[in-house]
Amino acid sequence: MMEEQACPRCKSTKYRNPSLKLLVNVCGHTLCENCVEILFVRGSGACPSCSTPLRRNQFRIQEFEDANVEKEVDIRKRILKDFNKKEEEFPTLKEYNDYLEKVEEIIFNLVNGTDVDATKKKVEQYRKNNRESIMKNRSKQSTDQAYLEALIQQENEDEEEKKQQLQFMERQTKNQKKRDKEALIDELIHSSMPADHVIASHTANVEMQEAPVFKLQKKTTFSTGIKVGFGYQDAFLPIPKQEEILYTYEEETYQSYGPSAPSIEELDTQRYNKHVRPASPQGMAGGYSHNLACLRALQEAFSGLLYFPSQHKNTEDSTSMETS
């Protein structure tokens, strides 16, 4: 029988304090949350059991009751982050098995305290020699892990949907039975037909009733097209690039059927804007310009003058020909 979980420093147990939270660090020794706050108030300190230098932000909630299991799991996670090669990276199966045996030997030494310094040097040397391969496999693992987590989340949501559907059907069935019972009692009280006929008619009507339909609330859809709860496989595919033409400024051309209006440079030289209200600071902030307002007024005025010199010349030529 496993011993009751307790803090080795203050001797608090789960029996005495049900809300006790035991935290564990890289050394594998546990401490309660209060003791961690006291011993590591400056952010770092030594483990009271083995004097290993520890940091406050490296403590986490203990998942397993056995501290040795907790320590092995933590070491295994850290080692496998670097020793993350796959079988397809080795020429033969034997070389891959030798690699796995080497990894297990490293984990065993660190868990049991055997040749710790030499093992750490070996791990550090492997990390330096295979830095590029480690980063590449980490990136691939993060994508695969995200995909697996999405699948797990999808399965959990499917299970939750089935659970909600079952609860809905049970509630609807219970309420329907209650309503049918009340309706039968009312029919028996107010009907002049024999009771067996009323019951038979009521039973036939109940059997013809349609089963309740369960409608699940629609998932939220973002502007990217990704639905929350669905389409996880698509969420991890690269977003297709859309080739778009960048905006290019084209100077506005002014078409006038009358005489040409003065240019914006001539407004100052020929004093067209003499009687135009100058722009205030607030107006300039909003985009107002007295020259622009003056130019628009002149353009509208000049456009109103219907002036067609070529057409007028053609008309004179045709008139002279008719006279002759």
**Would you call 223 helix, strand, or coil by DSSP?**
coil
Q: What percentage of the chain exceeds 70 in pLDDT? A: 76
What pLDDT is attached to residue 221? Answer: 45
Instruction: Confirm if 113 and 28 have CB atoms less than 8 A apart.
Output: no
**DSSP H helices in the chain:** 33-39, 67-82, 93-112, 116-129, 131-190, 195-208, 232-235, 266-269, 281-285, 290-303, 309-323
What pLDDT is attached to residue 101? Answer: 92
Average pLDDT, 10 consecutive residues per value, the chain (324 residues): 68 80 80 86 83 83 72 83 85 90 90 86 89 82 68 83 86 86 84 81 76 56 45 49 73 68 78 78 80 80 61 49 48
Q: Which residue has the tokens 């353009």?
A: 299
Instruction: Confirm if 5 and 23 have CB atoms less than 8 A apart.
Output: no
Predicted TM-score (pTM) of the model is 0.38
Instruction: Confirm if 29 and 49 have CB atoms less than 8 A apart.
Output: yes
Two structure tokens written together for 96: 């891959």
Domain positions in the chain are 22-129, 136-235, 247-316
Q: How far apart are CA 38 and CA 44, in angstroms?
A: 11
Rg for the chain, CA atoms, rounded: 42
Q: How far apart are CA 116 and CA 136, in angstroms?
A: 28
